[in-house]
């Protein structure tokens, strides 16, 4: 009995000493030289630290340590002479001047990496890469030669030795619109300034009783990938059926002269528009039989927004749950309650991708001017929804509205839908 107790005490003591040893060597930077002596095969040090010393509840997450700003009045029309600034938490003291110990401790900060990804009309590629510790200034002029022909850019920040947590930020370099093409793509920049506007995930969907306000001076940044990659994929798809096009941002649409265009494309989830915006679409289509609008997204034109111009600055006012009456414009509406619990699925027996999450769904409007095609979205209670709807305005221009976000993102893989779009775009 005493022998067993003795061995138990020895084991407990060894375990405690082992724990302390691990603590001082893995959890303490003072033993950096000792730690560096041992090779880090398969990144075992990182895993050991996480197992024995998981992140404290009081320790900040990676995303809570950064702030991203710009000296531009519009981060989606940023000029070559302007910059984006990345600031990170300085846990070693206020300032790093000669009278502050923070300067000495600064070199101990972990390395962070910045990647800039160029989203162009036919590919995505990394066009800029840097490593930094504390703060970094991205000079836009340094991107001009390496990030050519960009439609918009996505930045990614992460810790070099722990890349799991990331921050994403978005901007675009100012381009002069040529206005020589017959096709116009309208980018839903309002999505970036709402869904991806800040790391606190405060946006129109989380505030109540007041409008959510953002300004174009801000650099949208968040720790999740939301609409950016879907927008890129949609532009790729459109580029395969329409070779040349001009590009504007949604906040520019109302004041853009449209007489030279025959096709306007809203590539994905143009959720936020004004009544002036909707009137401009309808008036465009009523002028000529050759005019077409392609709308991709089940919740397109759903919510009201106000774009306020203040010289070169744009203010986005996202109203608190105020919706557009799109039925008045012969456009299918989005009802977030109607189909959410009905287990709607794409019917794969009719050719197309086998696994397809539908995303937002439009409610097909019954009207003599609207035709619906391909009832391949099957819901509970024997409800079937069309993939695409076609509205003709005054026997002239046509609105081609794809009733599901992800059906629209995969229309090239659905032969009959692709052909219907091509037949009516031309």
pLDDT tens track for 197-224: 998 889 998 999 999 999 999 999 999 8
Among 171, 194, 218, residue at a domain's last position:
171
Q: Which of 63-67, 182-186, 359-363 has the highest mean pLDDT?
A: 182-186
Which residue among 145, 171, 197 closes a domain?
A: 171
Instruction: Give the angle 400-402-407 at the CA atoms, nearest 5°.
Output: 145
Q: Which two tokens stand for residue 78?
A: 């940023």
Compare 76 and 311 and report the one with higher pLDDT: 76
* pTM for the whole structure: 0.83
Which domain CATH number covers 142?
A: 2.60.40
Domains of the chain: total: 3
DSSP-derived 3-state class of residue 349: helix
92 by DSSP, 3-state: which?
coil
Same domain, 38 and 132: no
Predicted confidence at residue 101, as pLDDT, reads 47
Let me know whether 283 and 407 are in one domain.
yes
State the angle between helix axes of 415-425 and 228-241 in degrees (0 to 180), rounded to the nearest 10.
Answer: 70
200 and 334 within one domain: yes
Report the candidate in 203, 202, 165 with the shortest Cα–Cα distance to residue 61.
165
Tell me the pLDDT band of 96, cut-offs 50, 70 and 90.
very low
> Phi, psi at residue 239, to the nearest 5°?
-65, -20
Residues 6+ away with beta carbon under 8 Å from 197: 203, 214, 218, 220, 222
H or E segment and range at residue 156: strand 152-159
Of 359, 415, 353, 410, the C-alpha closest to 237 is 410
Check residues 323 and 21 and name the one with the higher pLDDT.
323
The tokens for 56 are: 């404290």
What's the per-residue H, E or C state across 218-261?
CCCEECCCCCHHHHHHHHHHHHHHCCCCEEEEHHHHHHCCCCCC
Which of these three, 125, 140, 171, is where a domain ends? 171
Q: Are residues 74 and 19 in the same domain?
A: no
Residue 178 lies in a domain: no
Domain containing 132: what range? 62-171
Residues 260 and 400 in one domain: yes
């Amino acid at each position: 009995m005493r022998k067993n107790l003795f061995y138990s005490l020895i084991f407990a003591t060894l375990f405690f000493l082992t724990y302390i040893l691990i603590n001082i060597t893995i959890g303490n930077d003072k033993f950096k030289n000792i730690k560096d002596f041992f090779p880090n095969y398969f990144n075992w040090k990182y895993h050991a630290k996480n197992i024995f010393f998981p992140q404290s509840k009081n320790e900040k997450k990676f995303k809570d340590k950064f702030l991203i700003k710009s000296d531009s009045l519009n981060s989606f029309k940023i000029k070559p002479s302007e910059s984006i600034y990345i600031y990170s938490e300085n846990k070693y003291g206020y300032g790093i001047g000669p009278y502050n110990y923070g300067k000495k401790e600064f070199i101990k900060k972990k390395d962070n990496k910045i990647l800039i990804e160029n989203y162009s009309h036919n590919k995505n590629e990394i066009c800029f890469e840097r490593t930094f510790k504390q703060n970094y200034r991205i000079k836009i002029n340094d991107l001009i030669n390496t990030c050519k022909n960009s439609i918009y850019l996505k930045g990614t920040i992460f810790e070099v030795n722990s890349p799991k947590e990331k921050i994403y930020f978005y901007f675009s370099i100012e381009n002069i619109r040529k206005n020589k093409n017959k096709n116009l793509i309208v980018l839903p920049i309002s999505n970036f300034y709402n869904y991806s506007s800040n790391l606190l995930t405060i946006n129109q969907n989380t505030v109540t009783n007041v409008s959510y306000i953002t300004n174009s001076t801000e650099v949208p940044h968040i720790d999740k990938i939301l609409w950016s990659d879907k927008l890129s994929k949609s532009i790729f798809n459109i580029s395969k059926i329409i070779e040349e096009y001009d590009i504007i941002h949604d906040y520019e649409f109302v004041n853009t002269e449209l007489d030279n265009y025959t096709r306007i494309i809203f590539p994905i989830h143009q959720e936020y528009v004004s009544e002036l915006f909707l009137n401009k679409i309808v008036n465009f289509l009523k002028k000529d039989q050759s005019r077409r609008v392609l709308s991709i997204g089940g919740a397109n034109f759903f919510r009201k927004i106000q774009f306020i111009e203040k010289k070169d600055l744009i203010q986005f006012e996202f109203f608190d749950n105020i919706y557009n009456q799109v039925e008045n414009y012969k456009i299918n509406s989005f009802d977030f309650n109607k189909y959410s619990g009905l287990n709607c699925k794409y019917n794969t027996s009719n050719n197309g991708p086998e696994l397809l999450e539908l995303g937002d769904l439009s409610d097909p409007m019954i009207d003599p001017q609207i035709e619906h095609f391909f009832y391949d979205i099957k819901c509970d209670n024997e409800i079937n929804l069309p993939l695409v709807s076609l509205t003709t305005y005054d026997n002239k221009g046509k609105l081609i509205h794809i009733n599901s976000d992800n059906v629209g993102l995969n229309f090239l893989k659905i032969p009959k839908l692709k052909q219907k779009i091509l037949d009516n775009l031309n």
